Structure 1
């Protein structure tokens, strides 16, 4: 029991809340204490009956699959991607909360278009996209395919359409669209898609070896940019008690406050049945003294 408590305490706070709440909701469903219909995002009840809690609880409701293991695996992937982002991309907790403040309303507002009742699948797709951009040069395994993380979102969308149908594809698409808009805000650009269009429109010579070019680090770096969107001062003050707090917890890979770049990847190893990724670890980091001082 102490080992379990220690493991849970080592999970970053936002990821811990997201994961444990989703597990608790799934457990309440399984023993029929709570019915999924009371927590899903159903807009008529939100508007007419003022059941505003549905706007939050719908992100913790697992999708109903023919195979229950699929829901459990989706939850594990949410844990993996969320932990990778919280430990290695965002400087402090307030910035990571600000990420959800932007992404989740976008998913909510598009849910009537997709007829989605559970929004956890869209949230997973948003986390997948943001993690893939932050770790774009990292090698990942998706089912039987090895690829760079930069193209994982597109491949994931394709598999959802082929295996689960149009409904699941639309839910994943709106989640990635929300994460894409967040990426536009944090980089002050129109995103990777616009970079790709401009690159193709300015191409004056015939490209040789297209496949190798698409897989090269140079090509990927031209499409994706590093950015960082700090939380507003009022949110930082609300979370940390001061708008000028730089850190509220130690970072895993680096301590200089620099956002995650292409040559830095999350520490550790995370695997799942359909997606896995491995990264470099540092055995000894030293005290950080600069030579010549």
Structure 2
């Protein structure tokens, strides 16, 4: 039991928190503790009836236990962890800002698109940001396709289309990821560019450890478990 707890605590804080929230939400639905109708994104219920929890819960439900849930959770966990351990290492507050930006972007888009759960789109956003920051990693999808990491979100969207899913979900995630990537990684490096997304001080105070301090339970994901060259693009 202690080993399981130790392994759990080694997961970076945001990845740990988000994946745990998704698992607990799905478990609560599976056990009929709550209904999906209490969780989904509905602007009228949110802004008129003040059911504000829906702004969060609609990002935490991938459907009941099954292939779709497993597929999304694996991608969510692995790429969220990879981002937090690499691009955002020591910058948890910036990672929090990315979550907030993505959530706000998709919530605004959700006002104009008929979508009840935004969790899959959020996962695609995470995958997109990771893929653009790791452009030279080669991926292998189901042993059928080999491609560079930046193509991964598009491969996932094509796969979703072949499964008969509505690709607007993936398109929204790609759009959110691209806007974030442009504002954070591209525009500041342009002539006369500047950083648009500035992390508020309260997020830095809340999430960033003081210099020289590190979570004693933290251990990075082993090199052999990191994405690149694995089936499924994992």
TM-score range, shorter chain: 0.7 to 0.9
Look up the SS of the partner of 2:123 in the other structure. Answer: helix
Distance (Å, rounded) in 2 between the aligned partners of 1:180 and 1:268: 28
The answer as to whether partners of 2:12 and 2:84 remain within 8 angstroms in 1 is yes
The answer as to whether partners of 2:97 and 2:199 remain within 8 angstroms in 1 is yes
The answer as to whether partners of 1:63 and 1:121 remain within 8 angstroms in 2 is no
Map 1:95-244; keep pairs closer than 5 Å.
95-143=94-142, 144-165=144-165, 167=166, 169-189=167-187, 231-240=199-208
Distance (Å, rounded) in 2 between the aligned partners of 1:70 and 1:40: 17
Q: Does 1:50 align with 2:8?
A: no
Q: Does 1:81 align with 2:79?
A: yes
The answer as to whether partners of 2:10 and 2:219 remain within 8 angstroms in 1 is no
Higher relative contact order (CA 8 A, sep 6+): 2
Distance (Å, rounded) in 1 between the aligned partners of 2:40 and 2:111: 12
The answer as to whether partners of 2:125 and 2:174 remain within 8 angstroms in 1 is yes
Look up the SS of the partner of 2:128 in the other structure. Answer: helix
1:15: how far off? 0.4
1:240: how far off? 4.0
Match of 2:35 in 1: 35
Distance (Å, rounded) in 2 between the aligned partners of 1:229 and 1:86: 17
1:239: how far off? 3.2
Match of 2:225 in 1: 269
The structure with the largest alpha-carbon Rg is 1
Q: Per the alignment, do residues 31 and 128 of structure 1 end up closer, same or farther by CA in structure 2, a change over 3 Å counting?
A: same
* Cα RMSD for the two superposed structures: 2.8
The answer as to whether partners of 1:88 and 1:252 remain within 8 angstroms in 2 is no
Distance (Å, rounded) in 2 between the aligned partners of 1:92 and 1:247: 13
The answer as to whether partners of 2:140 and 2:231 remain within 8 angstroms in 1 is no
Distance (Å, rounded) in 1 between the aligned partners of 2:200 and 2:226: 32
TM-score (normalised: structure 2): 0.84
Q: Per the alignment, do residues 230 and 44 of structure 1 end up closer, same or farther by CA in structure 2, a change over 3 Å counting?
A: closer
Q: Per the alignment, do residues 270 and 30 of structure 1 end up closer, same or farther by CA in structure 2, a change over 3 Å counting?
A: farther
1:121: how far off? 0.5
Instruction: Give the length in aligned residue pairs.
Output: 222
Distance (Å, rounded) in 1 between the aligned partners of 2:213 and 2:182: 26
After the TM superposition, list the runs of 4 or more consecutive aligned residues in structure 1 that deviate by more than 4 angstroms: 227-230, 245-248, 250-253, 270-273
Q: Which runs of 5+ in 1 are unaligned?
A: 192-226, 254-265, 277-293
The answer as to whether partners of 1:87 and 1:252 remain within 8 angstroms in 2 is no
TM-score (normalised: structure 1): 0.68
